Amino acid sequence: MTPRTARAFLLLLMFAALSRPAAGAPPSSSRPLTNEDVVRLVMTGTAEKDILSVIESRTVDFDLSTDMIEELRQAGVHDRIIEAMRRRQAAMPKAAGPSPTATPAPGRTGTLRLEFTDEAADKTPSAYSAIALKSLPKGMRRRGGVEVGLMTDMALAVLCITSDHVPDHWDTRSPLEGAPRHELLLFRPQSATDKVKGHEVLYLDHQPSYEIPVPEGPHNIVVAAAGKQAGPGTWRLLESDGARVNILPGRTTRLKLLARSQVKGSSMVGFTVDSEWKIVGVEVLEGDASGAAATGTPDVEARP
């Protein structure tokens, strides 16, 4: 739902709520409480303590994205109520985890094949992936700007950030923190450790390729490496790049990704992580690809 659509919907809801003779009654407990239910209670003059009681006693399905929180405020929902909505939504049972591969909506689909570029036999696996430092060499002090020991796992994520493909409640359906609005097409946690210049590094232990069923049509695709933060356990993007692709029904679109990482420097001048994560080609396989796909960048910058 776009901000403009949401605003129009909430305004209509306000008039509808005020015109209903029994609109102040608590919504039916047979279904989860939604944003619209809370707005209806506010607009009909229900006491704040009663609204808070309803929120705490019901199962909920709130949309608490940034856009919708602003809409709630414009509709007169106070911050105390919004905070109660946040707490209750966070307390709701969560799914076991994101599906490794998203199931596309009914309709004609094609395949997006993500391929990592060829790896040299004389290089370690971490050299052709995304990495995070786990520990410094013995006796080495941490220097400014170097993140050490902050990641406990890594994952490959493939997102579609085309605005009208993003589902409602997208931010509660994705494990990624601080990412742009997206539909999650693939999320594969898989990491391993390596030793590089005395550093213990954590790297994304990816497969050579992945195939993802995607509905036909144009998509703004972002391929990212995500890290799981120690402590809160949240996932955030570490590396990302994007391209606009056109998926054809029954056909395969190949997206080639170059991933390289290395630890540079010395104990005298300090160490840095030098990385490259770049989409280097997009093409439709098994037929004429003229005009069907092109390399490029997504409409929204995906780098954190």
Q: Please state, in angstroms and as integers, the Cα–Cα distance from residue 175 to each residue in 51, 85, 96, 158, 185, following that order.
A: 29, 19, 11, 12, 12
Judged against a pLDDT cut of 80, whether residue 174 lies above it is answered with: yes
Average pLDDT over residues 12-27: 47
Helices 48-57 and 35-43 pack at an angle, to 10 degrees, of 160
Q: Are 113 and 211 in contact (CB under 8 A)?
A: yes
Residues in the chain: 304
Judged against a pLDDT cut of 50, whether residue 295 lies above it is answered with: no
Q: How many Cβ atoms are within 10 Å of 15's Cβ, its own excluded?
A: 10
CA distance 23 to 20: 5
Domain boundaries, the chain: 3-91, 109-284
pLDDT level of residue 271 (50, 70, 90 thresholds): low
pTM: 0.62
Query: Two tokens at 301?
Result: 């910058």
CA distance 296 to 222: 11
pLDDT digits (tens, 9 = 90+) for 229-264: 887 788 889 899 999 999 999 999 999 999 998 877
> Which ranges of 44-112 would DSSP assign to H, the alpha helix?
48-57, 66-74, 79-91
CA distance 155 to 176: 10
3-state DSSP assignment of residue 209:
strand
pLDDT digits (tens, 9 = 90+) for 46-79: 999 999 999 999 988 887 766 678 889 899 999 8
